[in-house]
Amino acid sequence: MEENMEGNYDLTNPYEIARYIKEAKKATPVKVYIKGDISDCDFGNIEDYGSADFHVIFGESDEITDFLEKNKNKINKFRLEYDRRNSAIPLIDLRNIDARIEPGAIIRDKVKIDKGAVIMMGAVVNIGAEIGEGTMVDMNSVVGARGKLGKNVHLGAGSVVAGVLEPPSKSPCIIEDNVLIGANSVVLEGVKIGKGSVVAAGSVVVEDVPENVVVAGSPAKVIKSVDDKTKGKTKLVADLRK
């Protein structure tokens, strides 16, 4: 089995992912804008960016709350912002990923994204997922935990590749190379879609799909083999991956 280790965790194993989440230090990071001169205060582990009577501080919720209470006489007013509570898994660091990732995509840490992939606005990619080279995850689509998308896959807008973390006994979804999944389709847990196949828009795929066929419906059934006409209608645009 391919190893994908982070510390002592094998993130290809659902039980190990569950252990990672259990043992991770839960975080509630907050940001506070403060009007008031707090320059001489003891910040502890809190990060302070400011001077004189305007500051922006970052830290954990409990420590920030204590700081605001202890220094309330120096604070004229403040505004607090946060976007999570007791979060176990941070978002991925995007800086060294050689892919196009648009604003509003939510990608958790411990995800593999290969060169030339495209993650569009509103897409969600969960822990343990793999996105292959040249693959597009379109707007508002979801790649669940451990989902594997091969090379040059198109996951249509609003589609779901179901995650397999609970129940952990299920195999992950595997979408092989050159598969096109139409908008608003659902691929259920443990399903494998073979190379070159096409899933029609709005389909619900409940069982494995062989290579080079077109499936449609709910539940999705094979309706034809991929032919030249199908290839022409489903051809990917390389320039979108530059």
pLDDT tens for 208-217 read 999 999 999 9
Cβ pair 162, 141 in contact under 8 A = no
With residues binned 3-state (H G I as helix, E B as strand, rest as coil), the percentages for the chain, rounded to 5, are 15, 30, 55
Smallest CA-to-CA distance from 65 within 95, 23, 25, 29 is with 29
Report the pLDDT value the prediction gives residue 236, as an integer from 0 to 100: 80
Q: In one letter, which amino acid is 58?
A: F
Report the pLDDT value the prediction gives residue 54, as an integer from 0 to 100: 97
Percent of the residues in the chain that have a pLDDT greater than 90, as a whole number: 81
pTM score, whole prediction = 0.86
Domains of the chain: 29-82 (3.30.70.250), 100-240 (2.160.10.10)
- pLDDT of 218 > 70? The answer is yes
pLDDT tens for 56-97 read 999 999 999 999 999 999 999 999 999 999 999 999 999 999
Which stretch of DSSP H or E encloses residue 69? helix 61-70
Positive/negative CA dihedral, 103, 106, 107, 108:
positive
Backbone angles phi, psi at 98, to 5 degrees: -90, 65
Cβ pair 218, 200 in contact under 8 A = no
Angle subtended at Cα 21 by Cα 15 and Cα 22, rounded to the nearest 5 degrees = 85
Q: Which residue has the higher pLDDT, 237 or 29?
A: 29
Smallest CA-to-CA distance from 51 within 30, 32, 64, 37 is with 37
